[in-house]
Structure 1
């Protein structure tokens, strides 16, 4: 199913003039006619579940139904030219009412206080929840799923999209819809009087690669959206995996991270898949011609394989940081400094490395305005000391986690 970026309608995208509004309406109507009402509504359930993950299914469904009604009304032959814009404005006004049935958000009152209708819609579109993790999605038994599915197939699909999308809120929404399609296909095939556990096992085995792709993509996109120094962490991470210098690692990772920023929040996953393909070609260019770069491997599978390789231990930097980190024309000095620290953390996870480097980066910036740069950078209660201690402890714990059996690690 091909999804268009402009599907987010006027509540998410505000155009500056009438021609833009007509273009937006045309694209929405084209998508509604191509997908049909049930799939069109499912798309919006996924979009708003990602945007408002702490809202109830009923609140998300209510907003999705309003958007479907807007499309049906304004895409009908003979609809007024301003039908679409007026309808989107009414929806944004309704979301500001005290008794609104739509998803709630802590910052919504700030947006609703804006007098200008376009400013209000832009503000509402920019709201997003923090990156709090939801509990893992517990899958019911095969019998329970079949009972729910056979009783209400559309309702089951809507609930599944809601639960999946709110737990994978940073991935292209097309991946969530594809995963839902795979799940409903499994139930259609296996929820029959003659089907049994072997049917579920066989179907899930065939779909396992897509589930791995969804989790892998979700991790990368979620980290890219929510970690301040993800690019610095990625550079250090792949530098230690590939055992390459900062000069080689930085441009390679910079392009990949820019691709994540561009593609993760696009509805269509094709952009992200192309970025994985490009990254695979860069990684496999005379670096890992063996197990991770077999021609039969999917591009994202190559990246996942490389991430599982043993990282190379690197020596500490020879010289302490200097005021060269503060020079305006030396753009790579701080990044190189962070690389040398992060690349030594060969057992820690990428989010841990990125978090530590983010704190160190803050300290470098603060110390550049301090008369005694060296003293500022080496003070015991500073971010550098605390982040370094954090990485050291992480290395100690993660090293033992990888070498001890689980009972021994748990006892420790």
Structure 2
């Protein structure tokens, strides 16, 4: 740990090292206050200054870090609070230090921080540029704590560079407009990678692959399962490598691309995370651009990053293709060593026929199908088990798909106001005796669910929780979501 800290301190210098410490600490302790983060950073920088120069006492780092862990266990402590601290503080010496080092706060799926581009922001920046800088790094990093470090660092620093350029020269609005356009691909990439890494850390590599199977199946009408599976595997590999990248160069990479001379291009010099995205984009374009015009149009973008952002933002197929009935996986297929592949193929076929249903519905279908397969394949009479459970499960699955499709189709085509009016009419017919406040409450709940889950690239984890809540609420009024 000493070698890692001192290596970064020497290569980056004190200012950039401090910047990196703010970003890393804010990501790790995303629920901490600004003051708590600055206290941690001050300690980290102080230890590096004292223990990293040539000729420093070889025992310096161990002694100082031990003292820091002891202060973390003091009451009151000036450092971030965590439910696991009490347990760590029962240990002593190295065991305590290692325990404290592993602590981190839970991350958020949906960022809420809004960057400011106005006279008030400029006034705050000019009055205290260091304080403004530190707080922005803190707010931005804790909100995007799942995104790869170089992406977060670059995006945060380009905002600060923009403030420095636009607030000091009096250019104001025009300067902000041009700079925001310039950095938009990077900010969008931060949002995308934050979401992808959040899901990867929560769901794991296999469930992320499933998510990409669903996405590609619903965006391309002509992609085969083999096409989609290969791209989903490549996407899950890319996410795995990028989100697990903890190399010492990641922060320095972020600083180096924070102020590009031209709009951001994905090259080997952009760092490992961004280069992997470039390679993945190339594979998407090689596979799908000759089969589907919308992918062809995206792949003609000015650079690979723009092409990927275009592909990412493609809507679901508004009119699902008229496809023939497909072969359902047999009991033998599901219980074979390729049972997972058979289930993924089944989900692919279902997803391309129900392009409006929220992704969380498909995830729920997959998980319930997995449970049935696991139960029946280990049953003494596998055939009888499937014969009992599959028909009921299939009925529930397609009922849920139809209702999810109906909800999102109406939400997208009727827009928000028309959608609410349609909901009110439907609930009034179903509950003619219900008071107006009950009807209004149901309308708002279903409208909130639709606005959360129906847009393309909606957050599936948050959406899944919303669906569970909706089922509970509407069932309490006698109208279950699936009915």
With normalisation by structure 1, the TM-score equals: 0.81
**Is it true that 1:235 corresponds to 2:244 in the alignment?**
no
**Is it true that 1:184 corresponds to 2:196 in the alignment?**
no
TM-aligned CA deviation for residue 74 of structure 1: 1.1
* Higher Cα Rg, which structure: 2
Within 5 Å, which residues of 2 pair with 1:304-383? Answer: 304-305=310-311, 307-311=313-317, 312-313=320-321, 317-319=326-328, 322-328=331-337, 330=339, 332-350=341-359, 353-354=362-363, 356-371=365-380, 372-374=384-386, 377-378=389-390
Q: RMSD across aligned C-alpha pairs, in angstroms?
A: 3.1
CA contact (8 A) 2:217 2:351 kept: no
Structure 2 residue aligned with 1:7: none
Counterpart CA distance in 2 for 1:126 and 1:356 is: 35
With normalisation by structure 2, the TM-score equals: 0.70
TM-aligned CA deviation for residue 252 of structure 1: 2.5
TM-aligned CA deviation for residue 150 of structure 1: 0.9
CA contact (8 A) 2:197 2:243 kept: yes
Counterpart CA distance in 1 for 2:312 and 2:108 is: 28
Counterpart CA distance in 1 for 2:200 and 2:414 is: 31
Structure 1 residue aligned with 2:41: 64
Structure 1 residue aligned with 2:129: 153
Structure 2 residue aligned with 1:263: 242
CA gap of 1:349–1:35, structure 2 versus 1, over 3 A, is farther
TM-aligned CA deviation for residue 359 of structure 1: 4.4
| Runs (5+) with no aligned partner, structure 1 | 1-9, 11-23
Within 5 Å, which residues of 2 pair with 1:144-293? Answer: 144-192=120-168, 194-228=170-204, 229-242=207-220, 243-266=222-245, 268=250, 270-289=271-290, 290-293=296-299
Counterpart CA distance in 1 for 2:60 and 2:22 is: 23
TM-aligned CA deviation for residue 190 of structure 1: 2.0
For each residue in 1:307-337, what CA deviation from the matched residue of structure 2 results, as whole angstroms up to 9, or x when unmatched?
5054355566433652532334655233334
CA contact (8 A) 1:356 1:388 kept: no
For each residue in 1:262-314, what CA deviation from the matched residue of structure 2 results, as whole angstroms up to 9, or x when unmatched?
21243526222122112112111152153111162324633542550543555
SS of the aligned residue for 2:61 comes to helix
CA gap of 1:295–1:92, structure 2 versus 1, over 3 A, is same
Counterpart CA distance in 2 for 1:79 and 1:214 is: 39
Counterpart CA distance in 2 for 1:252 and 1:355 is: 22
Counterpart CA distance in 2 for 1:259 and 1:121 is: 33
Q: Please identify, of 331-340 and 159-168, the stretch whose mean Cα deviation from structure 2 is larger.
A: 331-340
Alignment length, in residue pairs? 386
Structure 1 residue aligned with 2:69: 92
Match of 1:396 among 382, 406, 421: 406
CA contact (8 A) 2:411 2:419 kept: yes
Work out which structure has the larger RCO, using CA pairs closer than 8 Å and 6 or more positions apart in sequence: 1
Q: Please identify, of 231-240 and 306-315, the stretch whose mean Cα deviation from structure 2 is larger.
A: 306-315
Structure 1 residue aligned with 2:58: 81
For each residue in 1:129-165, what CA deviation from the matched residue of structure 2 results, as whole angstroms up to 9, or x when unmatched?
4444466223446121112111111111111111111
Counterpart CA distance in 1 for 2:99 and 2:351 is: 37
**Is it true that 1:296 corresponds to 2:273 in the alignment?**
no
Q: Please identify, of 385-394 and 155-164, the stretch whose mean Cα deviation from structure 2 is larger.
A: 385-394
Q: Please identify, of 312-321 and 268-277, the stretch whose mean Cα deviation from structure 2 is larger.
A: 312-321
CA contact (8 A) 1:263 1:271 kept: yes
Q: Please identify, of 362-371 and 144-153, the stretch whose mean Cα deviation from structure 2 is larger.
A: 362-371
CA contact (8 A) 1:230 1:354 kept: no
For each residue in 1:213-238, what CA deviation from the matched residue of structure 2 results, as whole angstroms up to 9, or x when unmatched?
22222222222222352211212321
TM-aligned CA deviation for residue 210 of structure 1: 1.9
| Runs (5+) with no aligned partner, structure 2 | 255-270, 291-295, 423-483
TM-aligned CA deviation for residue 123 of structure 1: 4.1
**Is it true that 1:143 corresponds to 2:119 in the alignment?**
yes
Structure 1 residue aligned with 2:421: 411
